[in-house]
Amino acid sequence: SQQGEEDPQALSIQEGENATMNCSYKTSINNLQWYRQNSGRGLVHLILIRSNEREKHSGRLRVTLDTSKKSSSLLITASRAADTASYFCATAGHTPLVFGKGTRLSVIA
Partner 1 sequence: GAGVSQSPSNKVTEKGKDVELRCDPISGHTALYWYRQSLGQGLEFLIYFQGNSAPDKSGLPSDRFSAERTGGSVSTLTIQRTQQEDSAVYLCASSLNSGQGFYEQYFGPGTRLTVT
**For binding to partner 1 (CB under 8 A), which residues are involved?**
30-31, 33, 35, 40-45, 48, 88, 90-102
Taking the least distance from each CB to partner 1, the nearer of 75 and 92 is 92
Taking the least distance from each CB to partner 1, the nearer of 1 and 109 is 1
Cα separation, 43 vs 14, in Å, equals 24
Distance in Å, CB of 44 to partner 1, minimum:
7
Distance in Å, CB of 16 to partner 1, minimum:
27
Instruction: Check: CB of residue 36 under 8 Å from CB of residue 43.
Output: yes
Taking the least distance from each CB to partner 1, the nearer of 45 and 80 is 45
Concatenating the DSSP letter of every residue in 42-66 gives: -EEEEEEEETT-SEEEETTEEEEEE
Taking the least distance from each CB to partner 1, the nearer of 16 and 101 is 101
Distance in Å, CB of 2 to partner 1, minimum:
10
* Torsion angle of C-alpha atoms 72, 66, 98, 101, degrees rounded to 10: -30
Instruction: State which amino acid sits at residue 29.
Output: I
